[in-house]
Structures are given as C-alpha cells and as structure tokens.
Amino acid sequence: MEDKVSVMISEEEVNKRILEMGKIISEKYAGKSIHLICVLKGGAFFMTELAKRITVPVTLDFMSVSSYGSGSESSGVVKFVKDLDEPLEGKDVIVVEDIIDSGRTLSYLMEILKKRNPKSLALCTLLDKPDRRVKEVKVDWVGFEIPDKFVVGYGLDYDQKYRNLPYIGVVEV
C-alpha cells in the first residue's frame, strides 16, 4: 500500500536554502579548499546539491555509519559500515549530514574524525530536530530547524523508501 506523504518544506524552499548555505560556506572558506564528507546514505542528496553551489575547490569522500534499524527510533548503537577512503590530516573538513536528531550518531562520528587531525572540522546539516537531542553536538550550519516529526525525502528514508523525493515530507500514519 502507498503511504500518504505531505509536504513540510517544498523543493523551492530547500533549493533556495542550499544556495544560501553554499554562498555562506564559500565566503567563509575563501582562498581555501574544502574536503566534504558525506554521511551515507541520507546525506548524499544534500551533499551533491551543496557541493554544486560551493565556489571554492572541493574534494569529496563518503562514509557510512548506522544507528538505526528499520524503525524510526534511534537505538543508540552506532555501527561503522564504511570508512573514508582518504586521510583527513591537514584538510579543512566539513561533514555533511541529512538530519541531526538525538545527536548520537554525529557526536560519536565527530570525535572519531577529530582524532585524524584535520586542519579544521565543521558540521553542516540540512535538518535539525533540536527537541530530540540527547547528546550535545556542535553544528556549524543548519538548513532548517524542524519540529519533532519523522520526515522523508531529500535523502531521508522511511524503511529505505522516499529518499528520492525532491522535497521534505511527512509520512501520514
């Protein structure tokens, strides 16, 4: 059966915000190059859109951690599924995430990445659900703060579905 998905943030709004974020980040890193780290799979859509709007030189790498089963609640267990291909030593690194919810995944990940001696390490997320935070994590750029609702689209899934929606939606249950 098809679920009903309602629009929370339209495609136009998301695109407009990513354009702004690309501009802000490009200005901040003027004269430098940026090493973007995508947290798979959810961060992939946001990362490619953001990368296209950054005007300083960019390199990319991908990693995959998993803190969720097939449901919608964080288990608190973070599993390393795929590590980065490149070292971070001396690089200006920005981690790109789809959403920060409890903060468990990212607080764990940022600690690990810090130990690899990047020149700088920042965090950029498309969405933030601050009401759900249980682990503190410093976020440098947030696309949208959203209420405590389970969202899909723009990389975010519900049981691996809906990642390809070009907007942020809520599955009606």
Catalytic residue among 98, 101, 131, 148: 101
Residue 109, number of CB atoms within 10 A of its CB: 21
Q: How far is the CB of 105 from ligand IMP (least distance, A)?
A: 3
d(CA 131, CA 146): 9
In the chain, the DSSP E strands lie at 4-9, 34-40, 58-66, 79-82, 92-100, 120-128, 141-145, 151-152, 168-172
Q: If contact means CB under 5 to 8 A according to the sort of partner, which of Mg ion, ligand IMP, none does residue 169 touch?
A: none
Per the annotation, the verdict on 157 as an active-site residue is no
Pairwise CA distance, residues 75 & 98, whole Å:
18
**With CB under 5 A, what is the number of residues at the site for Mg ion?**
2
| Binding window for Mg ion (CB under 5 A); candidates: 37-45, 58-66, 82-90, 116-124 | 37-45
**Which pairing describes strands 34-40 and 58-66: parallel, antiparallel, or unpaired?**
parallel
Instruction: Return residues touching ligand IMP (CB under 6 A).
Output: 42, 67-68, 74, 97-106, 150-152, 156
CB atoms within 10 A of CB 161: 12
Give 74's contacts (C-beta < 8 A, 6+ positions apart): 67, 68, 101, 102, 104, 105
State the minimum distance, in angstroms, from the CB of residue 119 to ligand IMP: 25
Could you tell me the smallest distance in angstroms from the CB atom of residue 57 to ligand IMP?
27
The residue (of 118 and 169) whose beta carbon lies closer to ligand IMP is: 169
Closest approach, Cβ 148 to ligand IMP, in A, equals 9
Under rule CB under 5 A, which residues in 88-127 are in contact with Mg ion? 98
Residue (103 or 143) nearer to ligand IMP, CB: 103
Alpha-carbon span 152 to 172, nearest angstrom: 11
Whether residue 79 contacts residue 89, with contact meaning beta carbons closer than 8 Å, is answered with no
Residue with Cβ nearer Mg ion (29 or 63): 63
Contacts to Mg ion by CB under 5 A: 42, 98
Active site residues: 101
